[in-house]
């Protein structure tokens, strides 16, 4: 450190240091009114703090949230299955519609994220599952921003979001009855045949949406559909098809020949694009409303319905697990095996038939001897 006396009678204390980022020497200085030992001590402290602050300063790139998000999505798309990307991209469309268009990414703090989730969940009524998916996606995005020097910290680390109390749905609301299923299929057959075909296949085979729409011609052979796109390793399986399912796949393949498309997927639009989950569910919502079915129904509802139908037919749990691609029986039991009115009645009938042969019943039927 050296000292320079200034024309105004004050003293400038200066120090040099080496900046590894630029490979050059830098200089910092501070001006005090004295050059006493105490002043020198004070100057040394101030200069060291300036040097430390400079060397540890993080320079963040200036970019908007939307710009960086589009940059990350392009990277993310190449690392995951198309169905996974489309699902998350749909959530981010909601996010971009709520946040200010030109907000800088390094200005998006935990309070802004909290307000975003609050609006999605409480005002727009998006489900707990959608909120969790959105938070997970934002966490991956902000980790990317940290790595690329766009932000100083990950705002998701500070989020403590509370969900509104869930309204418990009756078991009967988690699947559709045969009568309701028939109404929905008939509606689609006259409004959108492809959606009608998909609905039948969901109910007859228990496919997840992504499993069905990602089936290619080579994945369906005779009486078997080989699932090649599933969220779990257990989901990669062969599903044996009944006669109606075989007919539907053959019909779709014939219909697709009329579309001028290079796609070898079964479930494509007239433009040759793969059918999207949100479009199918939107049409399903319209159908149920017009049909007067008071249930929240999505493609996944028909997966529940498939297992319920199998349970009604007394199909064993191991076979059910394989058809839906579950590794553990408790998942199948807790999530899918619902007791229907038909099963309750069947159990009651069996008990009624059993009752006359019970010893207690026989004793009750014996005549009590006269006491006198």
pLDDT at position 358 over 70:
no
Name the residue with higher pLDDT: 334 or 273: 273
Lowest mean pLDDT among 63-67, 102-106, 126-130, 231-235: 231-235
How many other C-beta atoms lie within 10 A of the C-beta of residue 133?
Answer: 16
Domains detected in the chain: 2-55 (no CATH), 65-158 (1.10.150.130), 177-344 (1.10.443.10)
237-264 pLDDT per residue, tens:
999 999 999 999 999 999 998 887 788 9
pLDDT band, residue 372 (cuts 50/70/90) = very low
Q: Using alpha carbons, select from 27, 33, 73 the residue that is nearest to residue 50.
A: 27
Section 95-118 average pLDDT: 94
Q: Look at the block and give the residue holding tokens 């970019």.
A: 63
pLDDT at position 3 over 70:
yes
How many other C-beta atoms lie within 10 A of the C-beta of residue 64?
Answer: 17
Judged on CB neighbours under 10 Å (0-12, 13-18, 19+), 185 is middle
Q: How far is residue 47's CA from residue 37's CA, in Å, rounded to a whole number?
A: 15
How many other C-beta atoms lie within 10 A of the C-beta of residue 151?
Answer: 23
Instruction: Kindly list the distances between the CA atom of residue 43 and the CA atoms of 6, 31, 56, 136, 254, in Å, as whole numbers in the listed order.
Output: 16, 8, 20, 48, 85
Q: Using alpha carbons, select from 37, 23, 33, 209 the residue that is nearest to residue 1.
A: 37
Average pLDDT score over the chain: 87
Q: How far is residue 215's CA from residue 229's CA, in Å, rounded to a whole number?
A: 8
Instruction: Please name every residue paired with 63 in a beta bridge, in sequence order, or none if there are none.
Output: none
First to last CA, the chain: 126
199-235 pLDDT per residue, tens:
999 999 999 999 999 999 999 998 999 998 777 777 8
Lowest mean pLDDT among 24-28, 37-41, 209-213, 334-338: 334-338
pLDDT (0 to 100) of residue 168: 66
3-state secondary structure of 148: coil
pLDDT band, residue 91 (cuts 50/70/90) = very high
Is pTM beyond 0.95? Reply is no
Q: How far is residue 141's CA from residue 307's CA, in Å, rounded to a whole number?
A: 37
- For the chain, what's the residue count? 372
């Amino acid at each position: 450190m050296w000292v320079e006396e200034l024309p105004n009678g004050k003293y400038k204390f200066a120090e040099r240091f080496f900046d590894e980022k630029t490979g050059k020497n830098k200089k910092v200085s501070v001006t005090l009114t004295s050059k006493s030992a105490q002043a020198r001590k004070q100057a040394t402290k101030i200069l060291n703090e300036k040097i430390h602050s400079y060397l540890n300063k993080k320079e963040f790139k200036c970019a908007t949230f939307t710009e960086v998000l589009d940059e990350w999505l392009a990277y993310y798309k190449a690392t995951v299955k198309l169905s996974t990307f489309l699902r998350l991209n749909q959530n981010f469309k909601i996010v971009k519609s709520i946040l200010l268009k030109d907000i800088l990414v390094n200005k998006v703090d935990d309070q802004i994220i909290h307000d975003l989730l609050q609006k999605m969940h409480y005002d727009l009524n998006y489900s707990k599952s959608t909120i969790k998916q959105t938070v997970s996606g934002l966490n991956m995005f902000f980790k990317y921003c940290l790595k690329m020097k766009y932000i100083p910290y990950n705002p998701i680390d500070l989020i403590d979001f509370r969900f509104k109390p869930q309204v418990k749905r009756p078991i009967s609301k988690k699947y559709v009855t045969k009568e309701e299923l028939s109404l929905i299929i008939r509606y689609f057959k006259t409004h959108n045949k492809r959606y009608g075909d998909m609905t039948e296949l969901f109910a007859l085979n228990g496919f997840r949406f992504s499993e069905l729409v990602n089936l290619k011609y080579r994945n369906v052979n005779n009486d078997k559909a080989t699932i090649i796109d599933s969220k779990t390793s257990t989901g990669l399986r062969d599903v044996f098809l009944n006669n109606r399912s075989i007919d539907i796949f053959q019909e779709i393949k014939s219909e697709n020949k009329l579309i001028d498309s290079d796609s070898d997927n079964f479930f494509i639009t007239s433009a040759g694009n793969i059918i999207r989950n949100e479009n199918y569910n939107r049409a399903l919502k319209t159908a149920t409303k017009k049909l007067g079915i008071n249930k929240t129904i999505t493609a996944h509802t028909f997966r529940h319905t498939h297992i319920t139908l199998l349970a009604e037919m007394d199909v064993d749990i191991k076979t059910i697990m394989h058809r839906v691609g579950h590794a553990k029986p408790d998942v199948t039991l807790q999530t899918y095996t619902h007791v229907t009115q038909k099963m309750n009645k069947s159990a009651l009938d069996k008990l009624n038939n059993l009752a006359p042969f019970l010893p207690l019943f026989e004793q009750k039927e014996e005549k009590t001897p006269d006491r006198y």
